Structure 1
Amino acid sequence: MEAAIVIGLLILFIIWRKLPTKGVIGIKTEQLKTMLTDKDKVFIDVRTPGEYSGRHIVQFKNFPLGSDLSKLPTGKEIVVICQSGMRSNRACKQLKKLGYDKVTNVRGGMNAWRG
């Protein structure tokens, strides 16, 4: 019985972690292609410097996860990408906690990018 409760709680925790963060917009890479020339957006890549130097989208600046995100401009939409969408989702949560209003996560990340 106790094992079933623990397993149930673990499943609920995993589902909760996968839910999108309130106030964060999720987009696909196809939608990202139409946004790349928008000067009212700031594009950040939260992968490691090694991952970034291996392959990246020109408009994105490297801000590895754990960087001081509070240095980003507050009046623009922040678009965040990583390798798969998991780290960028965490960065989006951090940005929301810091008070950024317009935050967008690129679902699927560089794994889904066909640019």
Structure 2
Amino acid sequence: MDIVQWIIIAIAAYFVVSRFIPVKGIENITTEQAKAKFKVKKVQFVDVRTPGEYKANHRKPFKNIPLNQLAQKSTELDRDKEVVVICQSGMRSMKAAKTLKKQGFKQISNVKGGMSAWI
């Protein structure tokens, strides 16, 4: 193989691996760990599902800010407090966590499995 092929393989491998490596400052937590945080005053809870999904099934402390509005509405959140994000499966909430991280939030928790894992 020549050098160009090795470079292409290396770039492709980087993109695949970077999708699965945890982002610094974002913790993946279980639904049980999320429930335990309900008692902590310095934690804010955000559900990034659509308003329809949220209305059909949600948990009390979670505030609905759909993923597509999060970048604009993040000013409604306190950057100095931990943010716990949830969606239906954990995929959109991970995107939300990364968005918040880019906007300067320091402590973010993503609920693994989302509402589908809630018992």
Question: Which TM-score band applies after superposition, normalised by the shorter structure?
Answer: 0.7 to 0.9
**% identical aligned pairs:** 50
Secondary structure (helix, strand or coil) at the match of 1:43 reads: strand
Shift of 1:12: 4.9
Which residue of structure 1 aligns with residue 87 of structure 2?
Answer: 82
User: Under a length normalisation based on structure 1, what TM-score does the superposition of the two structures give?
Assistant: 0.85
Give the aligned partner of residue 105 of structure 1.
110
> 2 CA distance for matches of 1:76 and 1:63?
17
Partners of 1:85 and 1:7 lie apart in 2 by 29
Q: Offset of 1:71 from its aligned partner?
A: 2.6
State the 1:39 CA deviation. 1.5
- Contact map agreement 1:40 1:76 (CA 8 A) in 2: yes
Structure 2 residue runs of 5 or longer lacking an equivalent are: 2-6
Aligned-pair CA distance for 1:6: 7.0
* SS of residue matched to 1:47: coil
Quote the offset at 1:18 in angstroms: 2.6
Q: Which residue of 1 aligns with 2:4?
A: none
Give yes or no for contact 1:85–1:108 (8 Å, CA) kept in 2: yes
* Number of residue equivalences: 114
Please list the CA deviations of residues 63-91 of structure 1 after superposition, one character each: whole Å capped at 9, or x if unmatched: 00021223311221111000111111111
**Which residue number corresponds to residue 62 of structure 1?**
64
CA RMSD of aligned residues (A): 2.1
Cα shift at 1:26: 1.1
Q: Which runs of 4+ in 1 moved over 6 A?
A: 5-8
The secondary structure found in structure 2 opposite 1:15 is helix
Deviations 1:47-69 (A, max 9, x none): 00111011011110000002122
Instruction: Give the secondary-structure state (helix, strand or coil) at the position aligned to 1:78.
Output: strand
What runs of 5+ residues in structure 1 fail to find an aligned partner? none
Greater C-alpha Rg: 2
Shift of 1:43: 0.2
- Would you tell me which structure has more helix in proportion to its own residues? 2
